[in-house]
A and B are shown apart, each in its own frame.
Chain A
Amino acid sequence: MTRAQDALPKAVAAHRWLQSLRLRPNLVTPGVVGEAHLLAEEEAIFGPLNLSGAHVLEVGAANGYLSFAALRRGATRVLATDHLAWTLPGADAQAATELAAREMGLGIETMALDPRALTAEFGKFDVVVATAFFEQLFNPIAALRGLRAVTTRLLLIETLQDAQDDGRPVMMAQTLPMPFGGPSGAMVPGWAPNPPAVLHLLHTLGFSRILYRNHPTLGSQRGIFAALLPAAPEGVLEGFGEPWINLTHPKG
């Protein structure tokens, strides 16, 4: 074993990991979220897409798992961002992400960013992806507007859901224990929408075709939405077979 390899477990142990990233064949970061769960989410979210040459923005990247996956799947530019998990006192997830990027030799960009602050001047991304979206945002409406402003083709949202027995678009507010550092006992205020609420918010913001599927391992407790802007070519939809359903253009 080289000296550098020797030093890695120590460097890894110095961080609190949110996600389990395989940095070496037998070295996985001790993340709160396990590899199998992350892999299932990656397959559900990116599986239908061809990311070759795409510019991708990830919002709420935690330790960058999906950003690394996007780069491996052919994206040419990937910007990983997070807000609370990268900026709260005691939250060191950005440094951990950067360590992982160096170790895996994956050239993602990183930036601490509040998605509410995103405007068109920030830049343009073919694909924007955000997981655990509504549940950790005090203002998901402003954040969605921000994401819309920088998306040119496709927005992917994964979120906790609620009020599924209600046919009307509804968003429930809640506070959850903070999963990523900050003072002990701290809570994050956030929201959990039902699918009609996400559908209509995205539609109001200008997305014309909106698809949905349940979370691959947690079922309807969580949902994944793929929203296309009118400018996105129809071909983008080709990979979205079962269990995806088209909410804006239902079959039959």
Chain B
Amino acid sequence: MDQPKTSLSYDELLARMQQIHWFHSIALRPGLTTFGPKTELILAHEEQALLGCLDLHGRTVLDIGAWNGHFSFAAKRRGAARVLATDSYTWTHPHFKGQESFELARAELGLEIDTQLIDPTEITGDLGLFDVVLFLGVFYHLFDPIDVIQRLRSVTGQVLMIETHQDALEKTRPGMVFYPGTTLGGDATNWWGPNPPLMLSLLKQIGFARVMYREYPGEVMYRGLYAAFTPEADPAIAAGFGVEWRDLEAPGVLDSLVVAA
């Protein structure tokens, strides 16, 4: 945050920021941080947990459901050669004005990031192959996450990083809970809560070779982080995965994640 990257005055930038409903709190200039419910601290913890374990230098990164763009910006700052940010729901939503928010933040941060307005349900291999695909906070918003996760396999070169709400944690077998209407959190865009055994079996069935899991950074039981590696993944990309990350197929790991009802 040295010199402002746009010609907007402080007041002009503040006015534009105030016209948008933000999700991410992003520091655009000294003293000017967007006002999202995801605080800078929460985002810093999530970013460290999700990206801190990856060597992104020279890698290509696809962000699915980027919204205001925190994770796209973070990937670029961490050395990614190319970042493609995609979204549709919040980007075209008249209240969230997500694409406008993304573009404002990108310009202000002066980061070179590609964008494409595309819904996860429409992604195909035509988008290209990316070393790292970020699928953060999106799985449970999909009525048909099975179809979308299959689509994501076709654009993942090495590793698919997933952050999701989860449920059915008391079950030892793979399963997911369905939330009709506004059952989950009063939000009609929430559909499914999968458990770790389900994520493992789904990801393995669609052709990922290895699935690692770690707890959400913070005392949140009903969210989990997954890293699914393709058979072709460069072992170097997983070199930074510390002890918090556990191989879901290692003996006892799934059992240790079961939570008493």
Contacts and interface: CB of A to CB of B under 8 A. Distances in A.
Interface of A: 116, 138-139, 141-142, 145, 162-163, 168-175, 189, 196-197, 200-201, 203-204
Given A170-B178, A173-B198, A142 B173 contact: no
B205 interface: yes
A90 to B, nearest CB: 21
Nearest to A162: B175
A173 B147 contact: no
Contacts of A172: 171, 173-175
B176 interface: yes
Contact of B178 (A116, A139, A197): A197
A171 B205 contact: no
Given A189-B205, A204-B143, A171 B180 contact: no
A242 to B, nearest CB: 27
Interface in B3-54: none
A170 B171 CA distance: 11
B177 A168 contact: yes
Interface of B: 143-144, 146-147, 150, 168, 171, 173-180, 198, 201-202, 205
Contact of A163 (B143, B175, B180): B175
Given A139-B144, A170-B175, A172-B174, A200 B201 contact: no
A105 B171 CA distance: 50
Contacts of B173: 172-174
Given A169-B180, A200-B180, A141 B147 contact: yes
Contacts of B198: 173
Given A168-B177, A172-B175, A173-B175, A145 B146 contact: no
Pairs A-B, 10 closest by C-beta atoms: A200-B180, A169-B178, A172-B175, A173-B174, A139-B146, A141-B144, A197-B178, A168-B177, A142-B147, A170-B177
A138 B144 CA distance: 12
Contacts, number: 56
Contact of A201 (B147, B168, B178): B178
A197 B143 CA distance: 13
Q: Which of B143, B171, B174, B175 has the most CB of A within 10 A?
A: B175
A139 B177 CA distance: 15
A210 to B, nearest CB: 12
B177 A138 contact: no
B224 to A, nearest CB: 17
Contacts of A173: 173-176, 198, 201-202
B177 A142 contact: no
A200 B178 contact: yes
Contacts of A200: 178, 180
B83 to A, nearest CB: 30
A28 to B, nearest CB: 37
B190 to A, nearest CB: 12
A139 B150 CA distance: 10
B208 to A, nearest CB: 14
Given A138-B205, A200-B178, A170 B168 contact: yes
15 contacts: A138-B146, A139-B146, A139-B147, A141-B143, A142-B146, A145-B144, A169-B178, A170-B175, A170-B177, A173-B175, A173-B198, A173-B201, A196-B178, A203-B180, A204-B180
A138 B204 CA distance: 12
Contact of B176 (A116, A171, A204): A171
A201 to B, nearest CB: 7
B243 to A, nearest CB: 29
A197 B175 CA distance: 12
A138 B202 CA distance: 9
A145 B146 CA distance: 13
A171 B144 contact: no
B144 A142 contact: yes
A175 B204 CA distance: 13
B151 to A, nearest CB: 11
A208 to B, nearest CB: 14
Contacts of B144: 139, 141-142, 145
A163 B144 CA distance: 20
Contacts of A116: 147
Contacts of A175: 201
Contacts of A145: 144
Contacts of A168: 177-178
Contacts of B176: 170-171, 173
